[in-house]
Amino acid sequence: VHMLNVSFLVPDMRREFGGCAGNIAYNLKLLGGDPLPMATVGNDFAPYAEWMDTCGISREHIKVINDSYTGQAFITTDLDDNQITAFHPGAMSMSHENHVADAPGATIGIVSPDGRDGMIEHAKEFAEAGVPFIFDPGQGMPMFDGEDLLRFIEQASWVTVNDYEMEMLQQRTGKSPHEIAERVDALIVTLGGDGSHIYTNNKRIEIPSIKTAQLADPTGCGDAYRAGLLYGLMNKMDWETTGRLASLAGGIKIEHHGTQQHSYSREAFFSRFEKEFDRSI
């Protein structure tokens, strides 16, 4: 494209708290976990800090970079849930200034989209510390070539991607889903409304999606799903249960606008789990 000038009328606008670490922590807290989000933020973080305090989420490993803004995504979504996103990384580019060793009590982790150096450093530090972690490249995948991605896979205990990211992961590594799954404990591939697949122990487990009341906003559904994965892994649940728990967490999120606007009690969540899947936890 030699020249491109576009202008959109956006009739509704919301400003909401988000980010992978914040979203995953929020959903994990709802489920009863005790998340320790690790991130670098800017000098505009005060309102978000107040929100985290209200939610009871630790800010112990949130580092403020005073001469930067907090990373911000500007997402335009149409009525068919197609999205155009502009992203300013801001302080996120300094995420490598945080270190896994600063959280000595961590028993499980997740490396989600972040600054490139931070993702590389934190995966290496998790592996060296013997802390199992999920590699969740997400929209950060274009920053890495096949060699980088294979290194992440070797370091990780689990890998999770959506179907589009799975295609890119195959192209860049030259490995099929089953070949990738052989290198980790499990490969989890989400398929939007079609549920998800979990590749583990030389088999593919099919996880159904839930019956949603409405499709309000897809933003943050993947983060909610990943919180469900973490909760299942932390509580040593089998993959059939863990996948369904993650599916429900993501499904509840899509029924609400925003990434941290939904809320539920653990009792209500587990009651709906039994209703959706005809099994209990």
In the chain, pLDDT over 90 holds for what percent of residues? 90
Q: pLDDT for 178-187, tens place per residue?
A: 999 999 999 9
188-191 contacts at long range (C-beta below 8 A, 24 or more positions apart): 188/158, 188/159, 188/160, 188/161, 188/229, 188/243, 188/246, 189/160, 189/161, 189/162, 189/163, 190/160, 190/161, 190/162, 190/163, 190/222, 190/225, 190/250, 191/162, 191/163
Q: What is the pLDDT of residue 46?
A: 98
pLDDT at 161 over 80: yes
pLDDT at 163 over 80: yes
pTM: 0.94
Write down the H helix ranges in 56-186. Answer: 116-129, 146-155, 163-173, 177-181
Q: What is the pLDDT of residue 157?
A: 99
Q: Domains of the chain (ranges plus CATH)?
A: 29-274 (3.40.1190.20)
Q: What is the pLDDT of residue 77?
A: 80
From its phi and psi, is residue 195 left (phi > 0), alpha (psi between -120 and 50) or beta? left
> pLDDT tier at 177 (50, 70, 90 boundaries)?
very high
pLDDT at 14 over 80: yes
> pLDDT tier at 75 (50, 70, 90 boundaries)?
confident
Q: Whole-angstrom Cα distance, residue 26 to residue 21?
A: 9
> pLDDT tier at 94 (50, 70, 90 boundaries)?
very high
* 61 three-class SS: coil
Q: pLDDT for 238-273, tens place per residue?
A: 999 999 999 999 999 999 999 999 999 999 999 999
Q: pLDDT for 52-73, tens place per residue?
A: 999 999 999 999 999 999 999 8
Average pLDDT over residues 73-82: 83
> pLDDT tier at 193 (50, 70, 90 boundaries)?
very high
Average pLDDT over residues 117-141: 98
Q: pLDDT for 96-107, tens place per residue?
A: 999 999 999 899
Token duo for residue 234: 């932390």
> pLDDT tier at 78 (50, 70, 90 boundaries)?
confident
